[in-house]
Amino acid sequence: MGQKKDLTGSEKSKIVRYLAEGCSSLKIAKLLKRDHRTIKRFIQNSQQGRKKRVDKPRRKITAHELRKVKRAAAKMPLATSLAIFQSCNITGVPKSTRCAILRDMAKVRTAERRPPLNKTHKLKRQDWAKKYLKTDFSKVLWTDEMRVSLDGPDGWARGWIGKGQRAPVRLRRQQGGGGVLVWAGIIKDELVGPFRVEDGVKLNSQSYCQFLEDTFFKQWYRKKSASFKKNMIFMQDNAPSHASKYSTAWLARKGIKEEKLMTWPPCSPDLNPIENLWSIIKCEIYKEGKQYTSLNSVWEAVVAAARNVDGEQIKTLTESMDGRLLSVLAKKGGYIGR
């Protein structure tokens, strides 16, 4: 009887069954028409069981080395554990040990995003804060655009997965699968919009003014009283389509000019309370790593999330402006966060 290939799964099951019936290895070999040595080797290996794992002794970290690691972690923000330990000339430490050591003295954080502020920017932010320090911000309409994609911001599809369960499959598409540009405004405790920019339209001065005419002016502004229009201050950032001569002149013809059009300091999204509204909406539409299959579906999600934002939340945002101005002055024009 010649030696054949490895035992199949069904043959191994039969061997176990024959052994339970009291058959010898020689008899099993004859029944399966396999070499006796193959059967005997399988029986011996199965009886031995798994080999116990031998843990290698871990490298001990001295107090002096711990101090070096702590200093390196402070000097190298966002560095990996390997890079931190290598900078201290500490080798032979497994990743699990490195992370356990760093966990006692540091935290895993993502880098904060903030606008690049130079000296001129800071001076202009201070001048802006001084100019509007006595303004009644309940009369200011804060506006901005937001782009929402089908896939949402990177890194939001994370969460706890139960043991034994597989993580859900996430679609991977270029440019986040495409997106929708949304415009909205907030004043006192009221949300204006949101309004959707037509797909494929690039907002330049002309298209921006036409968009405001079709949405903001026709659907909201014209319904307001003359006294409201007289006291309202319109705020927009310094995007090219907003701050161009064409847009400024067009808004002036609509009665929004001089003191009724708020001047805006450069690189200052942290001063606009509507940015916080965008965060609230994005947290809602992308919760649990949700993705969308069409532009219409993500737009409907934005509208639904906006409806769930109540007047008290909006009022909290608009009433935060006094504190933001004081923070800008206290930090000498520096970034204040959101």
DSSP string, 113-153: P-----HHHHHHHHHHHHHTTT--GGGEEEEEEEEEESS-S
For residue 36, give the H/E element and its range. helix 36-48
β-sheet bridge partners, residue 143: 185
Residue 1: which pLDDT band, with cuts at 50, 70 and 90? very low
DSSP string, 208-244: HHHHHIIIIIHHTGGGS-HHHHHH-EEE----HHHHS
Confidence of residue 221 (pLDDT cuts 50, 70, 90): very high
Residue that wins the pLDDT comparison between 84 and 13: 84
Report for 42-46, 96-100, 141-145, 332-336: range of highest mean pLDDT: 141-145
Q: Percent of the chain scored above 70 by pLDDT?
A: 89
Q: What is the DSSP letter of 49?
A: -
Whole-Å CA distances, 129 to 122, 259, 261, 265:
11, 15, 15, 9
| Cβ neighbours for 137, distance < 8 A, ≥ 6 positions apart | 318, 319, 321, 322
**Taking a C-beta distance cutoff of 8 angstroms, is the pair 318, 187 a contact?**
yes
Predicted confidence band of residue 241 (pLDDT cuts 50, 70, 90) = very high
Q: What is the pLDDT of residue 153?
A: 73
Average pLDDT, the chain: 88
Q: What pLDDT sits at residue 52?
A: 57
pLDDT value for 20: 80
Relative to beta strand 140-149, strand 233-235 is parallel
Name which of 331, 59, 310 is nearest 190 in CA terms: 310
